[in-house]
Every structure is written in C-alpha cells, then in structure tokens.
Structure 1
Amino acid sequence: MAVQQDTSREPHEGGCTCADCPSGARNGHQRAIAAFVRRREELADGKGLPAAVAHSAGASRQWVSDELAESARLVAERGRAERLSWLHRLRPATLVVLGAILLVLLLVQGLTALGAGWTTARSAGLVAAFLLAALLALAAHFHRARGGVLAPVVGEDQRLSTSRAVAACWIVFCVYAVLVLAGELAGASGHARRAELLDGLELGRGVGLLTVLAASCAVAVLVHHTVGVRVRGRRLQKVRADRPRAADLLTDDSGHGSFTDSQYVLVHAAALVFCAVRLARRPEQLPDLPWAFAVLALVSAATYLAGKATGGGGPVIHSVVRTREAGDLDAPIRTGDDIEIRGTGFLPPGAETPQALVRMAVRIGQVQVHVPLIPVPGGFTNPSDTLLTVPIPAEAEPGRVTVQVVTAAGVESNEAGMDLVD
C-alpha cells in the first residue's frame, strides 16, 4: 500500500506571503542573506574556484565577482518579497496597536477614577481616543498598499522620515486635544461651563503648543524640499531601503546613530509628554507649553534642519593611479592593468548592502566597467568609500581618457583624466 505524503505543508521558496506558510518571505530573505554571507566567506578563503580560472588572478577575480553579484540579485529579490509581505501584515498589526492603546487608556481612566469619580472629561477623552483611532484605521485601510498608517511618514527612500514623524505626532496630539475639548463642550450643562471651555481655546493659552506645531510642520516641509533639491543637484546621495524600520528615526541612512535626528526626537518627545500631562491635569483648555520649553524645541528643530542642509555629499575622484603589486616595475597604465581610483563618497550611506554594491560602475573613456567585488573574511576590500580597483578593459582606446565613477545611488562623480598607453 502506497504511503501518501501531505505536501500542503511543504516549505515554500522565497517570497511566499501565506499567513500559514511555514517559511514566509522574511525567512526567505534571511536565508538568502545567510547564503550570500556563506558564499562570500567561502570565496574569501579561496574555496570553490573552478580549475579553469584558478590559474589567472584576473579571471578568478571576475568569476568571484560574478558569483557574488548573482547571489546579491537573489538577496534583492527576496528583499522585495519581504517588503510586500511586511505591507500585507502591517494593516492588522496597526489595528492591534490601536486597540491596545485604547485598552490601556480605558484601564488608566478607570483606575484613576476610583478615588476621584467619573467625570465628563474622562468620557470626552475616551470618545476622542475612539474617534481618532477610527480615523487612523480608516487612513491605514486606504493607504494599505503604501504602508498603511505609516504612509505619510515614509520618505521616498523607503525609510521613516524623522521630520514627518515628529510633525505627525504633534498633529495627532493637537487633534486629540481639540476633540477632548469638543467632547467636554458637548457634555457641558451650564453656560458658565461652556464659556470656560471656550476660553480654553484662546490663542494666549495654546500659543506655545501652536508655535511648536507650526515649527515641526515647517521643518518637515523644508527638509523634504532641501533633500529633494540636493539629490537633484547631485549634492546628496540617497539609496532606497528595503522597507521602513523604527530605527530610521534615530539613525542615518547607513544605520549609524545620528546626533541631529536623535536630539530632535528626544526633545520633541519630552515636549509631547509634558503637554500630555498638562492635558490630563487641565482637560478644559489647550496645554500651555511654557515658552522655555517651546524655545528648546525650536532650537532642536533648527539643529535638525541645519544637519539636513549640510550633511552628505557626492562622489569625488582625487586621483587615478596604476595598481602596483610587490615586485612589479614602475610603468605607464596599459590595457589589462588594474587602476586605483582614489577619492571619497564612493559608497553613500545605505549602499553597503550586497544588492547596492553590484550597481557600482566606472566609466573609462567610452567603456563602462562594473566594479568587481573582492571578498575578505567579514566583508569586502573592494569597493570601498575611498578606493576603487578596476581593470582597464581591452576595448578602451589608448590616449588621454577620462575616468568617472557611478555610485549605487546613480550619481556620477567628477571626471579625472589618465594617459592610457597601447
């Protein structure tokens, strides 16, 4: 009697987004990265080279680079599949988070009401929270293909924008505060109480809060404009990420901690907490943010904006020289030689991933040469941010030729000249 095997639970390869799949897109991406690292380490140790290319340093280097490039393309494919899977999971996760926040707010309101009693302000706070959560859930539904509720705060490079996130937090808080006041106004029974609530909306009471709100929104708009102008002017390099991550709020594009981003988030988070406490203590008026705190937030915003306006830069070639191995004689640059391109900005932030490294190229005269990947244990010696090593192709014409680097961000460097001897 033949034994029938259940194949419905076999692991899928790569980019599956099934909810009950034992091996989803995230696992596929992680497996692809692990396979790339394993292959890189093997090739760095000299293992797996075919005998046909092992005798030639140039041929073996090209073969190794092609092998790693093919593996990097698989990593990129799995990364795109993981992003689609992440978008698929984001909407239900958003609903869970909103529900958890409402539950926590309900518990806090209930516990604090044990001694003081239930008030109209507590009811208004809960109703405002439910209305705001419903609006956010509706926005997440309509923008589910672009990140749900995170869509407005995700930049064009697929990273969370610090300026947009801070501005969005202030907007959400101000909307909540206004809804609380509206709920209290709807539940007020006397004329004096309604007049008191209307006085709480006076400009003099919330001028500090409104100033910080206006500043954060202005910073978000200015940063978007500044970054766009600098990218189009080739003064800033931006490499797209696989998907947004929470760490983007505190780091630069390469994932390293950023002083300007961190201080901006921390200062405004402290100001938001202060305003939330003031709203809880005085729900009949807009939170009165002291001017000292408002000025601190403005200084933080100015620091963040200055960092965005001055950071980064394009690739710059300083010099082009012939690579000289130990024991070689000094000689002019000829076809087939390796050259070193020395400069800065060849690896923009975020371009350290395998799929970004394989997009680098060097234009030598009329010929475009892809930068070979040279692995070593734990990473690569080529390419690097300040040095590129490429071979002179046979198709390059002798004479005075120009050299130009094209980075993973698609930005071209300045042209550097060299003399190529036949």
Structure 2
Amino acid sequence: MAVQEAGQGGAVLGAHGGGCTCGDCPHGARAGHRRAVAEFLLKRDEFAAGQGLPAAVAHSVSASRQWVSEELTQSAEHVAERGRAEGDAWLARLWLRTACVVWGLVVALLLVQALTAIGAGWTAARTAGLLAAVVTAGALTAASWFHRARGGALAPVIGEDNRLSTSRAVAGAWVLFVAYAVLVLVGRLAAASGHAERDALISGLELARGAGVVTVLAVVCAIAVLVRRVVGVRVLGQRLQKVRAYRPRAADLLTDDAGRGSFADIQYVVIGGVALLFAAVRLGRRPDQLPDLPWGLAVVVLVSAATYLAGKYAEGGRPVILSVVRAREAGDLDAPIRTGDDIEIRGAGFVPPGAQGADRLSRMVVRIGAVHVRVPLVPVAGGFSNPTDAVLTVPVPADVEPGRVEVQVVTAVGVETNRYLIDVTE
C-alpha cells in the first residue's frame, strides 16, 4: 500500500512538474517555468565563477567562451519556452478572474446603494443604476467567455506586444463609463410615468449638458487609435524596437517595455482616473443627465492626452554604431585588427527595452563583411557583461577577408544599425 501511494504521489508530481498533461492546467506551466529559471540561474552563476567547464575547452579562452554561450543559449531557449507556456495558461484562466471582478463591483455597488438608501429611501434612480450595472456586467462576462483564450474582458486592451496598452485601457474605461451612464438614463426613461419627466430625461442627453464628457471620450478614443498607428509605423520603419512579453501585467499601464516607470503613461492614467472618478460622482449626484464634466477638467485631460501622445512619438530610436575598436586585454600590445581578435562595438540601442533576457540577447548578430557572427553571452554574477546596450564584444572570424569591411549589428528584434567600416589586416 505504501509503495502504491508513493507511486501515485510521484505520478501527480510528474503530471504537475512542468510537463503537465492536464490540458490547460496552470500548475505544470508555472512549476515548469520556475524550475527552468532556477536551473538557468544556477548554470549562469556557475559559469560566471569559472565552474562547470569541460577540460577540452578550459585551456582556450575563445573556445570556453563559445561553449559557455552555447550552453546558456540552449538553457535560455528552454526558459523562454516555459515562459510562453505559462503565459498562455495564465491568459486562459484570466477570463474567469475578470468576470469575478466585474460581478464583485456589481455587488459593491449594491451594498453602497443599500447603505446610502438608509433614511433617504430607495429610488427609481438606484434601481436604474443597479440594472445598468447588471447589464454591463453581463455583456462583459459574455465578452470574456468568447475571448477567454486572450484574457477575457481584458482582451481589447492587450496590445500586439502582449502587454496592457495604456491608451486602450484609458479609452476602454471611458467607453464603459459613458455606456453605463446612458444605460442609467435608459432605465430611468423606461420607468418614467409622466411626459414632463420623460422630456427632462431626454434633454439630459443633449450635447450642451455632456459636452465635456463627449469631448474627453472622443479624444481618448482617438488617442488609442492614433497611438496604435504611430507605434506600428515606427516599428515597420525600424525607428522603434518592440519585444513581445510573455504575458500582460498590471504594471504595463505605468511602465515602459523595460519595466521602468514612464512619466507619460503615469500622468495619463492618473489624470484620466481622477477625471473619471469626478464624472462618476457627478453621475451619482445627477442621474437624470450625462455627467457635466467641467471644461477646466476636460482641458486638463486633453493636455494629459497630448503629453502621452508626444511621449509615444519621442520614445525609442534606431540603434547606432558610433565606433569599433580592437578589444585589448591587460598587457596586450597596441595593434591593428586582425582575424581572431576581439572587436568592441560601441554605440547605443543594441538591447531593446524588454530584451534583457538571455533568450533575446542570444539572438543578436554582428555582420562583419559577409560573415554573420553570433554575439557571445558572457555571464557574470547576477547578469551578463556582454552584450550590453552600449557595448558589444565579438571575435573576428578567420573567414573574414583582410581589407576594408563593413560592420553592422542586428538586434534581437531584427532592427539593423548603420554600417561602420573597419580595416582588417592579415
């Protein structure tokens, strides 16, 4: 019996140990990714400390460097594969979480209305608001089901790079709010009994009363469409480098692709959120018309949107080679570049934001004449000393013909730098 239980326990661990055979079960994907990351970090730190090298390559610096780079590249590809599997499993189960959050907000609205109705009494406006919330939540739940493989209700705000889009999230929030406000008016109009009350509700939809909200809605939606176009054109023109993420994260709304806080994104989310909160309070106070967003606050949102758009135009840039020199070790004599030497390529933008992972770094290539040279991964404690965003070190292969040759870097996303001429001697 004990042996049988141990065998069953081993089967469960095997099923959820990174090679899960339970369909979209997230346990195996998550555990497999964590195990792959731990193994990669251990291997990288061992190589950085000079351990684990086979005797056949330990005597040669270039051979050991190439062997270490190949080993780390294979391990990094395994980590990337596990990361993609975990991301797919995470997205597949996200739709249920979004649906629960949506209905949780409906319950919260019900509790708030019940508490505020004490003493004041229940009104038709409260019923209309609650029914509008139920209709909105039902629509979002249905959308989550049909897009359950892409994140549920969050699918429209996930960009092509698999990150949450700030512009789409802000625009989506305003669209949902305006739709909810109109549904509240529809509910009140359906429950109205007198002609005067119905006329007052219809007049609440006039542009003069909701001009501020309509203007903000139009601008944020236009920004969402325009930003997508701007990013797409700049990527195709090789003026912007975009790296696909394994899965979207909430921090994407406030950071750039490298995970650093972005002023343009933060101010857009904060100001848009504050204006949306103000409009929600106005709707609660005056449920018989569209929220009358003051023009002063609307202009603040427009300035914030313009700042965000300008930030999207300004970010990124094409990688560039500034200089190429012969790499010199301590004690070496000054000499021209020869085949077999290491060259140091100095510039900017070699590592795109979000491409700091070893699987992306290993895709970098340097063209030296007609020869394509893989940039070797050089591990150090906690990371890599080569390649970096500003400096690359690669060997000059023996296949390079002596004379004047061109050097060009191809980044992890396929963007090419300018061509730089160097002289290679025999």
TM over 0.5: yes
Q: State the match for 2:179 in structure 1.
A: 175
Please give the alpha-carbon distance, in whole angstroms, between the structure 2 residues aligned to 1:245 and 1:236: 21
SS in 2 for 1:3: helix
Q: State the match for 2:259 in structure 1.
A: 255
SS in 2 for 1:125: helix
Aligned residue pairs, count:
422
Please give the alpha-carbon distance, in whole angstroms, between the structure 2 residues aligned to 1:205 and 1:19: 53
The CA deviation string for residues 333-376 of structure 1, in whole angstroms up to 9 with x for no partner, is 11111000000000111011122111111111111111101111
5+ residue gaps, structure 2, are none
Q: State the match for 2:12 in structure 1.
A: 9
Structure 2 length as normaliser, TM-score?
A: 0.96
The CA deviation string for residues 298-338 of structure 1, in whole angstroms up to 9 with x for no partner, is 00000000010111111100111110111111111111110
Change (3 A) 1:325 1:275: same
Q: State the match for 2:244 in structure 1.
A: 240
1:76 and 2:80 correspond: yes
**Given residue 122 of structure 2, which amino acid in structure 1 is its aligned partner?**
W
The question of whether the paired residues in 1 share the 8 Å contact of 2:92 and 2:150 is answered with no
**Given residue 14 of structure 1, which amino acid in structure 2 is its aligned partner?**
G
1:156 and 2:169 correspond: no
Moved more, 393-402 or 176-185: 393-402
Q: State the match for 1:413 in structure 2.
A: 417
Q: Residues 117-266 of structure 1 correspond to what in structure 2 (within 5 A)?
A: 117-266=121-270
The two structures, once aligned, show a CA RMSD in angstroms of: 1.5
5+ residue gaps, structure 1, are none
Change (3 A) 1:15 1:246: farther
Please give the alpha-carbon distance, in whole angstroms, between the structure 1 residues aligned to 2:25 and 2:315: 43
**Given residue 312 of structure 1, which amino acid in structure 2 is its aligned partner?**
G
Q: State the match for 1:27 in structure 2.
A: 31
1:304 and 2:308 correspond: yes
Please give the alpha-carbon distance, in whole angstroms, between the structure 2 residues aligned to 1:353 and 1:250: 21
1:114 and 2:118 correspond: yes
Q: State the match for 1:267 in structure 2.
A: 271
Displacement of 1:394: 1.7
Moved more, 247-256 or 318-327: 318-327
Displacement of 1:169: 0.4
SS in 1 for 2:322: strand
Identity %: 66
Please give the alpha-carbon distance, in whole angstroms, between the structure 2 residues aligned to 1:367 and 1:136: 54
Displacement of 1:15: 5.1
Moved more, 36-45 or 280-289: 36-45
The question of whether the paired residues in 2 share the 8 Å contact of 1:9 and 1:22 is answered with no
Change (3 A) 1:307 1:100: same
Please give the alpha-carbon distance, in whole angstroms, between the structure 2 residues aligned to 1:17 and 1:125: 46
Change (3 A) 1:15 1:225: farther
The question of whether the paired residues in 1 share the 8 Å contact of 2:91 and 2:247 is answered with no
1:399 and 2:379 correspond: no
The question of whether the paired residues in 1 share the 8 Å contact of 2:96 and 2:152 is answered with no
Structure 1 runs (4+) greater than 6 angstroms displaced = 19-22
SS in 1 for 2:421: strand
1:385 and 2:380 correspond: no
**Given residue 91 of structure 2, which amino acid in structure 1 is its aligned partner?**
L
Please give the alpha-carbon distance, in whole angstroms, between the structure 2 residues aligned to 1:401 and 1:296: 54
1:372 and 2:376 correspond: yes
The question of whether the paired residues in 2 share the 8 Å contact of 1:33 and 1:75 is answered with yes
**Given residue 9 of structure 1, which amino acid in structure 2 is its aligned partner?**
V
Change (3 A) 1:17 1:343: farther
